[in-house]
Amino acid sequence: METLIWKEKKTDNNAFFYSSKYDRVLHGKIEKDSFVSAYVSFFESDSGDIKNIVYCTFDKTGSVDNIIMQNDLKKEERKREEEEIILFRNVILEIDYFGIIYNRFHEIKDFLRDDVNSIEVLEDKDKFPLFMNLCSKHGEDNIFRSIERKVFDKRKVSQGQK
């Protein structure tokens, strides 16, 4: 099963996607819920190092318009992007976010299977609060804000700031 984690920074329309199935990171610019451009990074399975990074631009239909291969990227641009992507991936893998999401999904699924026979859960004074608590737990974790905060903190440390 592929797990995709999405993190968005609304201030600059950047988004990171991580695919656990393929161990890839996509970091791109989004406008109106569509990618305009993105870096796609592929990792070595043994070492975890980036083996390839490409830059893509997209047309208005969301199809790839242009691809710039790793060797054709400007050295400074590639280095900056690699640092961002590695930092993001390390934070994602540092905490078992996939396990958190997977477990929450199964808690809700099991609750619905075992404790809910019909839409009447919406009127049940005992079950409805339990159901709502299960469904809203992910908000308490603030997974995406947690990732953003950790990336920000690690970036400050790597730049020698406190």
79-130 residue pLDDT tens? 999 988 888 888 878 777 667 777 777 777 777 677 666 666 667 778 777 7
DSSP string, 4-68: EEEEEETTTTEEEEEETTTTEEEEEEEETTEEEEEEEEEE-TTT--EEEEEEEEE-TTS-EEEEE
Residues 85 and 107 in one domain: no
Residues 89 and 13 in one domain: yes
Q: According to the model, what pLDDT value does residue 127 have?
A: 73
Residues 111 and 143 in one domain: yes
Q: According to the model, what pLDDT value does residue 157 have?
A: 74
Residue 9, pLDDT > 60, answer no
Q: According to the model, what pLDDT value does residue 62 have?
A: 81
| Enclosing domain of residue 90 | 1-94
Q: According to the model, what pLDDT value does residue 57 have?
A: 92
Q: In the chain, what percentage of residues exceed pLDDT 70?
A: 73
Residues 35 and 88 in one domain: yes
**Counted domains in the chain:** 2
Residues 41 and 83 in one domain: yes
